[in-house]
Structure 1
Amino acid sequence: MWMDLLFPGEKIDVRPDVCLNAKSREAVCDECVQACPFAAIRIDVRSSAVVAVDPEACTGCAACVGACPTGALAKKGAPDSLTSARRWWEVLAGAAKDAENASGAVSREGVSPFLACTVSPHGKRSSWPLACILELEPAHFFAAGSAASSAPPSPQGEATVEGADSPFSTRHDSPVRVAVDLSPCRRCPRGVRYEEVEGHLRALEEALRRYGRPVTFVPLAEDTLEGEEAAGGELPGRETVPQEAIGRREVFHHLLPPRIRELLAGPREAASPSQGGEGEVEKAPVPSGPSSAGEGQANDFGAGRALAKKRLYRGRLSSVPALRTFRYGEKFALTATLAVGETCDGCDVCVRVCPVEALSWRSRGGEAVLVLDEGRCLGCEKCAVLCPRKAIDVRWEASPPVSERELVAFEERTCSRCGSPFRARPSDPETLCPVCRARRLPPDFFAAQFAPRPSR
């Protein structure tokens, strides 16, 4: 396939076990499908892979990687950009704290990230690795401790805001200007159009403003001085970056196998960084300090990644969006609560299918109470989709989450025939468990249920 030759090693790896659509009757999340600019992704819940990526249509832009809430899609053989970005902000926050302790004033003037994709000639100077600018999401611009997290609940059961004194919390967020190299987007070998990247950055700016994080993206050609300062060296401006920056020479250079590429490279290009060759491209200066690599790796994929995003976004939206598009993490920023109807029979399906274990049963004085932890609930609606009685309704609120919200209560009873424990409504006089009740039904009932239907 031509993308394998043009960008060797850059593929999209699918982890179906952590996808929210795994073991579901229908798709409950299609963020990757909406984000892909080439319509290369298809969701099939009946397949074991769940997410199918068309290798002919996929260009490796990794827009789906940034949109996936659980990290089910990842760049194969490439570092995770979200983990690297979080580490960059954490190190910067640590450096600001050290400067505050030394001088008594916080100063972050002139320290801003510089972003460039792997196709850009300045890709190695990017603050964190990006396959494409479309990979960016709001979580890339928050530190790990910049928002409310699972703090001890208040006496009324409402979660309190943690990290209010953090230099990157909502109270102390200051405008940030991010220099972005968009020069390769004019003739991108991946096929991404410049208008798509520009629209993505504008939508990202608007989403970050809603989260109280004012970020302004400045194209490199429009702000050369800031780009030079962010990248730690001289960068070309509008006049010095020709539109042929990514031309046929670079395309054929990527088409060559790595060994042939090294043989044909000149002495300046082939010089290794360890030898300090003249062709060495220095990376942008990153603030030095301790990194939480172990913590970042633990939350890279699955429920840990989704919950980490929820902690970043929580409490930053002041109202529920008018349109239920829920792009750019709005599902995580809002509080999802459940309403359980009278048709619920306590079958335990919702507890077993919840990807983050937000639902659980609590025993209390002969009662079994279904409890929801709103601080962990992602609002994926998987419980509502798979509920056999269709008794669950998902609602969105801008209120603080409640750690233990009681949804429905059942009586704990013992089956009079087999002795197994089961749950029943207080008004239900039933004394048999669901299994014994099914055995009591006549055989004609099951024959009618599984009888072949006449073809139309």
Structure 2
Amino acid sequence: MPDFRAIACTRYRYRYSECRRCADACPHGAITLSDEGAVASKEACRECGLCIDACPTQAWSSAAFQPIELLREAIKRPAWRMACEPSGCSGDAVVPCLGAVDAVWLAYMARRRIPVSLHGASHCHDCAHGRTGEAQWQRNLQAVETLRDAAETPSDWVMPLLADDERPPGVRERDARKGSGAAARRSLFRRIFRHGAEQAPAAGQPGTPDKVPQQAIRAGAQVMSQRRELLQIVTRRQDDQALHWELDESLPLMQLSLQSGCTLCEACFRVCPTGAIEIVENPGDWALTFQADRCVGCQVCLEACQPRVLDADASFDVRPGQAPITLISRNKQRCSRCDRHFASASPEATCPVCRDDEDAFTAIFG
């Protein structure tokens, strides 16, 4: 059974989150979602590991399937055979499903020039995991190919290959990459930019608050992603030239930009599970910054932004080590009542604390 770490789940950190990547990836309907996170049914779970690959914040994990441990073994070998368990194929490592082997793992091996052969892909049409597993490994292979094409020296990469030697006779050859990357990007764009295409709901409408209440965001420690750290190695370039990337769900990458209309509510900062969004302030200034190296593309910040002014860029430079960008900065104001310094999107005579006190006093005493 996979283990679930609620503090890393966007549904736990933001109660209005609509993220359902793990549930969509599960071919057995074993995952139930709520505003507390997710739960896997012991009766329905078949331990395919697809939820582990699908979650960008790595809220799901398994003691029996740890890709980082497989990587430590694989880099010691001149070549590596990976086989899926349901197919009965043999390999240096047998994984629950080829779709559970994430794109970053495969890309790292390709850049290290270690040949990886994937065995058991022809079994997908007969496999209980194949309903979503096949699409997932296709997207991952497509992402590796796109990374290779954008690399400084693409010819140095040794790409993972689907093995043909163990395919049963008469099985139709399948293209592991055709069309899958474009389909993944279309799905991602529909989810991310849905709020921009639809009219904003009226304030006060059930389920759509006009601003994020404090209790909607659960505070929690920042989480780190081994997958994201590994990807920084894969995307590093010696020539320091830009490495352009189109937004894609298969890799934990995203770049943010901010349109006019930010209310400085700090909801995006409070909800970010990795610390990619930060508040930098001193007595006179306040700034909202974004560090791409820490972002895993979970998109919960886009959901929490009530003015809908935070956007994910369609394409961006993914080189590691870039300086944080400032999304918005403001000079602080001084409260006429308590003399505190505070940041506000527009000139205000009093700070939010004093305004809340005044509202509470009015509500009680009229």
Aligned partner of 1:411: which letter? Answer: N
Q: Are the aligned partners of 2:99 and 2:135 in contact in 1 as well (CA < 8 Å)?
A: no
Residue number among 1, 11, 17 corresponding to 1:27 in the alignment: 17
In structure 1, what is the Cα distance between the partners aligned to 2:335 and 2:65? 55
Alignment of 1:242-261 (within 5 A): none
Residue 308 of structure 1: how far off its partner (Å):
2.1
Please state whether the residue corresponding to 2:287 is helix, strand or coil.
strand
Residue number among 95, 104, 109 corresponding to 1:139 in the alignment: 104
In structure 2, what is the Cα distance between the partners aligned to 1:179 and 1:406? 43
Q: Give the match for residue 336 of structure 2.
A: 416
Q: Give the match for residue 295 of structure 1.
A: none
Alignment of 1:54-453 (within 5 A): 54-75=41-62, 77-80=63-66, 82-92=67-77, 111-119=78-86, 126-143=91-108, 169=111, 176=115, 178-181=117-120, 191-193=128-130, 200-212=136-148, 214-222=159-167, 302-311=223-232, 314=235, 318-320=244-246, 326-329=248-251, 331-332=252-253, 335-344=254-263, 346-363=264-281, 366-400=284-318, 402-425=322-345, 428=347, 430-441=348-359
Q: 1:69-119 CA deviation, whole Å, 9 max, x = no partner? A: 2221122x4141x11232134334xxxxxxxxxxxxxxxxxx421122345
Q: Which has the larger radius of gyration?
A: 1
Residue 19 of structure 1: how far off its partner (Å):
1.5
Q: Are the aligned partners of 1:142 and 1:312 in contact in 2 as well (CA < 8 Å)?
A: no
Cα RMSD (Å):
3.6
In structure 2, what is the Cα distance between the partners aligned to 1:187 and 1:385? 38
Which deviates more, 382-391 or 407-416?
382-391
With the length of structure 2 as denominator, give the TM-score of the two structures: 0.68
In structure 2, what is the Cα distance between the partners aligned to 1:216 and 1:375? 29
Q: Give the match for residue 40 of structure 2.
A: 53
Distance 1:372 1:133, change over 3 A: closer
Aligned partner of 1:210: which letter? Answer: T
Aligned partner of 1:342: which letter? Answer: G
Q: 1:114-138 CA deviation, whole Å, 9 max, x = no partner? A: 1223456565xx3335122232221
In structure 2, what is the Cα distance between the partners aligned to 1:180 and 1:447? 73
Q: Are the aligned partners of 1:339 and 1:407 in contact in 2 as well (CA < 8 Å)?
A: yes
Distance 1:187 1:308, change over 3 A: same
Residue 218 of structure 1: how far off its partner (Å):
0.9
Please state whether the residue corresponding to 1:350 is helix, strand or coil.
helix
Residue 203 of structure 1: how far off its partner (Å):
4.0
Residue 436 of structure 1: how far off its partner (Å):
0.9
Aligned partner of 1:328: which letter? Answer: S
Distance 1:369 1:198, change over 3 A: closer
Aligned partner of 1:372: which letter? Answer: F
Identity of aligned residues (%): 21
Q: Give the match for residue 40 of structure 1.
A: 30
Residue 433 of structure 1: how far off its partner (Å):
0.9
Q: Are the aligned partners of 1:138 and 1:328 in contact in 2 as well (CA < 8 Å)?
A: yes
Q: Are the aligned partners of 1:182 and 1:219 in contact in 2 as well (CA < 8 Å)?
A: no
Distance 1:204 1:384, change over 3 A: closer
Q: Give the match for residue 277 of structure 1.
A: none
Aligned length: 298
Q: 1:14-62 CA deviation, whole Å, 9 max, x = no partner? A: 11111232221333533212221122223212xx3x1122333221111
Please state whether the residue corresponding to 1:211 is helix, strand or coil.
helix
Q: Give the match for residue 194 of structure 2.
A: none
Please state whether the residue corresponding to 1:142 is helix, strand or coil.
helix
**Unmatched segments (≥5 aa) in structure 1:** 1-10, 93-110, 147-167, 223-237, 240-300, 449-456
Q: Are the aligned partners of 1:337 and 1:396 in contact in 2 as well (CA < 8 Å)?
A: no
Distance 1:203 1:424, change over 3 A: closer
In structure 2, what is the Cα distance between the partners aligned to 1:417 and 1:303? 41
Q: 1:395-451 CA deviation, whole Å, 9 max, x = no partner? A: 3322246422112122223323223331134x61x2311121223348666899xxx
Distance 1:206 1:423, change over 3 A: closer
**Unmatched segments (≥5 aa) in structure 2:** 149-156, 170-221, 238-242
Q: Are the aligned partners of 2:260 and 2:309 in contact in 1 as well (CA < 8 Å)?
A: yes
Distance 1:219 1:69, change over 3 A: farther
Residue 365 of structure 1: how far off its partner (Å):
7.9
Q: Are the aligned partners of 1:40 and 1:53 in contact in 2 as well (CA < 8 Å)?
A: yes
Distance 1:438 1:218, change over 3 A: same
Residue 372 of structure 1: how far off its partner (Å):
1.6
Please state whether the residue corresponding to 1:398 is helix, strand or coil.
strand
Distance 1:418 1:40, change over 3 A: same
Residue 380 of structure 1: how far off its partner (Å):
2.4
Distance 1:31 1:395, change over 3 A: same
In structure 2, what is the Cα distance between the partners aligned to 1:361 and 1:203? 35
Q: 1:152-187 CA deviation, whole Å, 9 max, x = no partner? A: xxxxxxxxxxxxxxxx54xxx769451414687686
Q: Are the aligned partners of 2:82 and 2:116 in contact in 1 as well (CA < 8 Å)?
A: no
In structure 2, what is the Cα distance between the partners aligned to 1:311 and 1:319? 13
Distance 1:311 1:89, change over 3 A: farther
Aligned partner of 2:336: which letter? Answer: S
In structure 1, what is the Cα distance between the partners aligned to 2:119 and 2:12? 36
